[in-house]
Amino acid sequence: MNIGDAARASGVSAKMIRHYESVGLLPPAARSAAGYRRYDERDVHTLRFVRHARDLGFGLEPIRELVGLWHDRERPSRQVKALAEQHLAAIETKLAELQAVKATLERLVCCCHGDDRPECPILESLAGGSGA
């Protein structure tokens, strides 16, 4: 199938397919006599795998490792679990950071009167003042 067909079948845009190929997540595509990329079901399956991993927030390097482990039928599952645990820990850290940002912003929004007065704790905080 051509790149458009592979994109539709996998849910990955043609641009991202070319990118994944350029960074080595997908092996270089076979080429037609006219030089067009040709993909098979295995390529589409790999693209779906990559898309699902991206949907879970994995970065390119962990996905590269996961694809390698996925293709290695002799791999111990503990390697896969370790990658997932590392990613989960990073998500938990990011979530805590976002919750702190949310709490600060909620406090600032609550303290701002949102009326015709020029005083605004949101702007004061952004300017490096004490805020609220």
**Confidence (pLDDT) at 80:** 97
**Number of H helices and number of E strands within the chain?**
6, 2
Q: Name the residue among 77, 19, 104 with its Cα closest to residue 112.
A: 104
**Confidence (pLDDT) at 129:** 63
Tracing tokens 């490096």 back to the chain, one arrives at 128
Write down all domains in the chain, each with its CATH number in brackets.
Answer: 3-75 (1.10.1660.10)
**Confidence (pLDDT) at 132:** 52
Q: How far is CA 32 from CA 14, 38, 85, in A?
A: 17, 6, 42
**Confidence (pLDDT) at 84:** 98
| pLDDT by 10s per residue, the chain, length 132 | 999 999 999 999 999 999 999 999 999 999 999 999 999 999 999 999 999 999 999 999 999 999 999 999 999 999 999 999 999 999 999 999 999 999 999 999 999 999 998 999 999 999 986 545
**Confidence (pLDDT) at 115:** 92
Cross-strand pairs, 30: 38
